[in-house]
Amino acid sequence: LVCTRKRSLEERRVKANDREHNEKFQYANNCIVTSKYNILTFLPVNLFEQFQEVANTYFLFLLILQLIPQISSLSWFTTIVPLALVLSITAVKDATDDYFRHKSDNQVNNRQSQVLIRGSLQNEKWMNVKVGDIIKLENNQFVAADLLLLSSTEPHGLCYIETAELDGETNMKVRQSVSVTAELGDPNNLASFDGEVVCEPPNNKLDRFCGTLYWREKKYPLTNQNMLLRGCVLRNTEACYGLVIFAGPDTKLMQNSGRTKFKRTSIDRLMNTLVLWIFGFLVCMGVILAVGNAVWEREVGSLFQSYLPWDPPVDNFMFSAFLSFWSYIIILNTVVPISLYVSVEVIRLGHSYFINWDRQMFCSRCNTAAESRTTTLNEELGQVEYIFSDKTGTLTQNIMTFNKCSINGQTYGEVTDPLGKQPKRLDFTPFNPLANPDFCFYDEKLLESVKVGDLHTHEFFRLLSLCHTVMSEEKSEGELVYKAQSPDEGALVTAARNFGFVFRSRTPGTITTTEMGRTVTYSLLAILDFNNIRKRMSVIVRNPEGRICLYCKGADTVLLERLHPCNQELMSITSDHLNEYGADGLRTLALAYRELSEDEWEAWSESHRCADKATDCREDRLAAAYDKIEQDMKLLGATAIEDKLQEGVPETIALLSLANIKIWVLTGDKQETAVNIGYSCKMLTDDMTEVFIIGGHTVQSVRQELRSAVVCRLQNTAGSFRKMRQKLLYISGEFALIISGHSLAHALEADMEAEFVSTACACKAVICCRVTPLQKAQVVELIKKHKKAVTLAIGDGANDVSMIKSAHIGVGISGQEGIQAVLASDYSFAQFRFLQRLLLVHGRWSYLRMCRFLCYFFYKNFAFTMVHFWFGFFCGFSAQTVYDQFFITLYNIVYTSLPVLAMGVFDQDVPDHRSLEYPKLYEPGQLNLLFNKKEFFICITQGIYTSVVLFFVPYAVLSDATQSNGVPLADYQTFAVTTATALVIVVSVQIALDTGFWTVFNHMFVWGSVGSYFTIMFALHSQTLFRIFPNQFRFIGSAQNTLLQPVVWLTIALATAVCVVPVLAFRFLKLDLKPQLSDTLVRQKRRKPGGRSIGGAWRGTGSVSEGRLGARGGSRRSGYAFSHQEGFGELITSGKNMRLSSLALANFASKHSSSWIETLRRKKTNHTPPIKSVSCFSGVCFSLIILRSAL
């Protein structure tokens, strides 16, 4: 048994349909448990967990100390009441969390699945599924465990899955069973299947599986392509059978959901440091007082023995001092009150709720409210300096719209109405019953041109309807659904459809379209598929008349050089149009065609076949063959597709950069696309002095490029004094850096990263393109390491998860792609533009509130506790408390907790619209101005000052004072009541001064706290309680005896004035001489109630006029803009997937392709240098930069 167990660590053996055999290995069953407790274990386990918190253990330790009578300077309940309160609040929270986990566990574990047992299908709960079982899945069902696909109802054992829950990708993936098992169609055959799978042990690699199937003395290799993972959903497949390989906790889904790293805010870290310092301070005070005790006991106490002998175990002053040290640790422990941590949590929870409740962060289109998924990071939102953003789905909607086109030198789509009237959307239905009603186009001229029968226009749309790899599905007559691999293609085919060239269906050899109402079937001779090097795709079709034609669309850079020389004039016009489109941030494509004679076709066809069959360098040979035929084409025109930005993205980015937040875009897209988006969302502008492009492939070239960027920047800064003024407008110069993934890999190496960071951080905008998810995280880590700045990562897809997890704050865009990013995030909302409100309003407020809260909290506890220190010098260092024990118990949890909580939750300095109007208001947070070590020292100095006043003023007044009936006031109880009352009043006045925003709650809590102090004090000093517990309520009558004395009130008033006046004077001076922006704004509001006019200023700078953009547009015209992948063309011509297209594809069409990772991976495995195009492009740019800097 030991042997088998050991082996199961290295490999897993699963025998189908043999539970007895598999039980030997004791594999985990399919029951998942995410809950932590059950009813019995809750109390011990939860308490054990809670006491692992240092603070809780510390208070437990104090509690134990208090049980020693020689040490105990306080009653046991002064510590146990707050501790019990804290523990029970946390326990209740944990219990509710766990209850919901139990509920969801139960729901998942009780899902039904069909298991093949003894030859028949039986319904079983998920949790009873065992490793080695064969289960049947039906369409749209969740996969219950990690399965080896055995057979499916589809041909070739194919089945389709959606992996959104697993990796966030919403496109469907194909899985295929091993061919031998694919033939085991029905349950009877499967029941007798007794293959054995030997595979790797459970791991968390979603894209890898390695195993072998042994069946009938033969070995079959298994890969990830044969696996259905838990969390996936079966789509477009009637049913399939799978063998359970990993179950429950062993599944890749569960293996991936490890414990998340607990994020702490910088305030948290600062707070922990400060708490440590305070502990040190506490020990120092303890030592000072213990030394004092030793001296006192030796000099005075030993002589005083006749009245006050030592407690029995104490026999010398040293021992007494030792005990006194611990006694003082107990009574002075309130400098770090246990309620600090709870209060901080409560305030953060409140802020989180405000985020959840914010209507201005609610997206009504997708019915999603903002959600703060962690409640511990809010104030960090007010300190963000770097934002790392994903592009697709975050900045852009990932929706492509056919926006403009140029046909035969005529541009369409530009609707310029000087009056700015809303242009009318074209209605296609009367002209074309097959039109897609969702399609938007505004330019009537194009429709006219089609109707008139312009040959070029017809040919243009014919090309769009033929040259693509889109699949169509026609559920009922005229109700067409296109399933495009990339949204760009979908947009083009839909455009053609609306303009009368409807793509209806395809077979491996034909394409059927409806051209201007007439059904035409073309025979499809060849698809010259897209790839990243070719940057174009073509089809060769034969029309019913027998004419053979090659239609090609592709990046203008590659296509324009393949045109027939006679196109020169048209080419230059179209080129101008392309520049215009590119300047508008549109993705452009050029279209061309070529008629082929039968002979040409035959000849080429032969060479193509030859290349296709070649075993070595097939790819290269095919490319050469394609290249041969794609020559001498005639230009038809160009299309421009808008990659729609999310609403308000340019404004948000402008606003955030005014708030001194640097935005880096990290995208998997190509450089051209990324740069395009950079321009369209105003991250890059034509005003920029320089855009550095780093695209080197080797360490040396990257280093050189970085260095030249530095040199260039220096020259620019030194040379242009005229621009200095202009520079002040921008936050960090007008440079931008664009770096591609492979260069980034070098830049992130240890010896270059500092150089990279310094260059990149000097740039206003940084765009990293073609980066892998891992690199995204590395970049974030790099900034975290080198800049000590707060970072925020925002993204929507699974590829952003690593970056979201490693940034200080992760934000997920919900409702777009899968929910992986949201699950990993700390905050989620539906639109990128909500980020400005999250940071500038909620973050800023949270930071402000937390800082004010902490300042006040430390102040009030020092003011409270240090009084004991001073009293120590007058009571023989005996650890006698100044206050009543009940006051000590209640001070932090009743008398002073709510006003400061109310301030921490509700305080505002400027209203929300102001923080959006004046992004500069965000700066104090980034610079850490409101709560830092200096502020902390100011608070505790103020606290210590207050404690001095609170002790020595009553001391000086009361020591000689008497009541009006002659009874001295200097008794201990009167002194205690006076000091306590003065303390409560002083800290209440202080919170009143600190509160900047008096809502009804603040009033209630501040007045209520003072009221409750007096009420509770009178109750505790009442006769009733004394009669029941005479030894606990010794202060009977003190309240009324003391508070009726005018001298006492005069003392309290004096102490309050002495405490508050200096504070008031300092604050006034600070406000008068060094006003912060927020102070000025608040005052401004007083003077000019409607003074919004100044605030609008930034908006002007934010929206750069469209016209100016054209000036330098040529340099950034997009190349082939497809986020495209190769491989589908072959699938179409082979006909393998034809059933797929005829099946229910309903979900498919609406999904966006985001499987660029897949492409990237494939590239890597093929050992072709990744993305050559980028490098040559950047090479050109690089030489341009050198030229410029030389000039």
**In the window 486-515, what residues touch another protein (CB under 8 A)?**
none
Compare residues 34 and 1142 and give the one whose CB is closer to another protein. 34
- Tell me: does residue 92 bind another protein (CB under 8 A): no
Measured in whole angstroms, how far is the alpha carbon of residue 1147 from the centre of its chain? 27
Q: Give the contact letters, 258-287, x = binds to another protein (CB under 8 A), - = no.
A: xxx-x-------------------------
- Tell me: does residue 125 bind another protein (CB under 8 A): no
Binds another protein by CB under 8 A, chosen from 56, 73, 398, 667: 73
Question: Minimum distance from CB of 38 to another protein (Å)?
Answer: 16
Binds another protein by CB under 8 A, chosen from 123, 422, 615, 1031: 1031
Q: Give the contact letters, 882-921, x = binds to another protein (CB under 8 A), - = no.
A: ------------------------x-x---x-----x-x-
> Does residue 996 sit in helix, strand or coil?
coil
Integer Cα distance of 472 and 475 in angstroms: 10
- Tell me: does residue 1012 bind another protein (CB under 8 A): no
Question: Minimum distance from CB of 730 to another protein (Å)?
Answer: 12
Under 8 Å between Cβ of 109 and 31: yes
- Tell me: does residue 836 bind another protein (CB under 8 A): no
Under 8 Å between Cβ of 528 and 626: yes
Residue type, position 108, single letter? V
- Would you say 832 is a known binding-site residue? no
**In the window 582-601, what residues touch another protein (CB under 8 A)?**
none
**How many amino acids of this chain bind another protein (CB under 8 A)?**
137
- Would you say 800 is a known binding-site residue? yes
**In the window 358-387, what residues touch another protein (CB under 8 A)?**
358-359, 362, 364, 367-369, 376
Under 8 Å between Cβ of 813 and 831: yes
Question: For 880, phi and psi rounded to 5 degrees?
Answer: -75, 140
**In the window 655-714, what residues touch another protein (CB under 8 A)?**
658
- Tell me: does residue 975 bind another protein (CB under 8 A): yes
Under 8 Å between Cβ of 552 and 592: yes
What 8-state DSSP symbol labels residue 646? P
**In the window 859-878, what residues touch another protein (CB under 8 A)?**
874-876, 878
Under 8 Å between Cβ of 432 and 514: no
Binds another protein by CB under 8 A, chosen from 423, 968, 1011, 1169: 968
Q: Give the contact letters, 1111-1150, x = binds to another protein (CB under 8 A), - = no.
A: -----------------------------------xx---
- Would you say 443 is a known binding-site residue? no
- Tell me: does residue 30 bind another protein (CB under 8 A): no
- Tell me: does residue 996 bind another protein (CB under 8 A): yes
Under 8 Å between Cβ of 1121 and 559: no
Compare residues 214 and 1026 and give the one whose CB is closer to another protein. 1026
Integer Cα distance of 566 and 1169 in angstroms: 36
Question: For 1137, phi and psi rounded to 5 degrees?
Answer: -100, 15
Sole window of 393-401, 514-522, 605-613, 973-981 interacting with another protein (rule: CB under 8 A): 973-981
- Would you say 1163 is a known binding-site residue? no
Under 8 Å between Cβ of 259 and 1167: no
Compare residues 469 and 831 and give the one whose CB is closer to another protein. 831
Catalytic one of 250, 390, 584, 826: 390
Question: Minimum distance from CB of 494 to another protein (Å)?
Answer: 20
Residue 390 annotated to the active site: yes
Compare residues 964 and 1105 and give the one whose CB is closer to another protein. 964
Sole window of 479-487, 590-598, 638-646, 1041-1049 interacting with another protein (rule: CB under 8 A): 1041-1049
Query: Which of these, 748, 700, 735, 835, lies nearest to 386 by C-alpha position?
Result: 835
**In the window 772-831, what residues touch another protein (CB under 8 A)?**
818-819, 823-824
Question: Minimum distance from CB of 925 to another protein (Å)?
Answer: 17
- Would you say 427 is a known binding-site residue? no
Question: Minimum distance from CB of 23 to another protein (Å)?
Answer: 25
Integer Cα distance of 1182 and 1115 in angstroms: 12
Residue 862, judged by CB atoms within 10 A of its CB (0-12, 13-18, 19+), counts as buried
Tokens standing for 308?
């006050």
Binds another protein by CB under 8 A, chosen from 957, 983, 984, 1121: 957
Number of CB atoms found within 10 A of residue 268's CB: 16
User: How would you list the strands of the sheet with 827-829, edge to edge?
Assistant: 371-372, 827-829, 809-813, 790-795, 384-389, 662-666, 765-769, 735-740, 690-694
Compare residues 159 and 1132 and give the one whose CB is closer to another protein. 159
- Residue 1188's contacts (CB-CB under 8 Å, 6 or more residues apart) are 690, 712
Binds another protein by CB under 8 A, chosen from 997, 1127, 1136, 1157: 997
Residue 829, judged by CB atoms within 10 A of its CB (0-12, 13-18, 19+), counts as buried
- Residue 1172's contacts (CB-CB under 8 Å, 6 or more residues apart) are 532, 533
Binds another protein by CB under 8 A, chosen from 38, 272, 568, 1080: 1080
Measured in whole angstroms, how far is the alpha carbon of residue 709 from the centre of its chain? 31
**In the window 146-205, what residues touch another protein (CB under 8 A)?**
164-165
Integer Cα distance of 852 and 905 in angstroms: 11
- Would you say 489 is a known binding-site residue? yes
Number of CB atoms found within 10 A of residue 682's CB: 21
Tokens standing for 887?
């006051």
Binds another protein by CB under 8 A, chosen from 218, 424, 1086, 1167: 1086
Binds another protein by CB under 8 A, chosen from 897, 981, 1041, 1118: 1041
Integer Cα distance of 723 and 716 in angstroms: 9
- Tell me: does residue 972 bind another protein (CB under 8 A): yes
- Tell me: does residue 231 bind another protein (CB under 8 A): yes
- Would you say 796 is a known binding-site residue? yes
**In the window 1094-1113, what residues touch another protein (CB under 8 A)?**
1094, 1097-1098
Binds another protein by CB under 8 A, chosen from 455, 960, 1093, 1111: 960
Under 8 Å between Cβ of 268 and 165: no
Question: Minimum distance from CB of 818 to another protein (Å)?
Answer: 7
- Would you say 15 is a known binding-site residue? no
Query: Which of these, 457, 534, 553, 461, lies nearest to 502 by C-alpha position?
Result: 461
Distances (CA, A) of 896 to 8, 541, 889, 975: 60, 83, 12, 20
Q: Which helix (H) or strand (E) holds 396?
A: strand 396-407
Binds another protein by CB under 8 A, chosen from 1, 9, 307, 1107: 307
Under 8 Å between Cβ of 995 and 907: yes
Sole window of 407-415, 512-520, 925-933, 1030-1038 interacting with another protein (rule: CB under 8 A): 1030-1038
Compare residues 258 and 1107 and give the one whose CB is closer to another protein. 258
Query: Which of these, 1085, 1114, 933, 889, lies nearest to 80 by C-alpha position?
Result: 889
- Would you say 404 is a known binding-site residue? no
In order, the DSSP letters of 647-711 are TTHHHHHHHHHHTT-EEEEE-SS-HHHHHHHHHHTTSS-TT-SEEEEE--SSHHHHHHHHHHHHH
- Residue 1167's contacts (CB-CB under 8 Å, 6 or more residues apart) are none
Question: Minimum distance from CB of 1068 to another protein (Å)?
Answer: 4
Q: Which helix (H) or strand (E) holds 1148?
A: helix 1146-1150
- Tell me: does residue 306 bind another protein (CB under 8 A): yes
Under 8 Å between Cβ of 242 and 226: no
Binds another protein by CB under 8 A, chosen from 142, 281, 319, 730: 142
Question: For 161, phi and psi rounded to 5 degrees?
Answer: -130, 155
Binds another protein by CB under 8 A, chosen from 129, 484, 1036, 1181: 1036
- Tell me: does residue 239 bind another protein (CB under 8 A): no
Compare residues 440 and 967 and give the one whose CB is closer to another protein. 967
Annotated binding site for ATP: 390-392, 489, 530, 553, 587, 667-669, 770, 776, 799-800
Annotated binding site for Mg(2+): 390, 392, 796, 800
Catalytic residues: 390
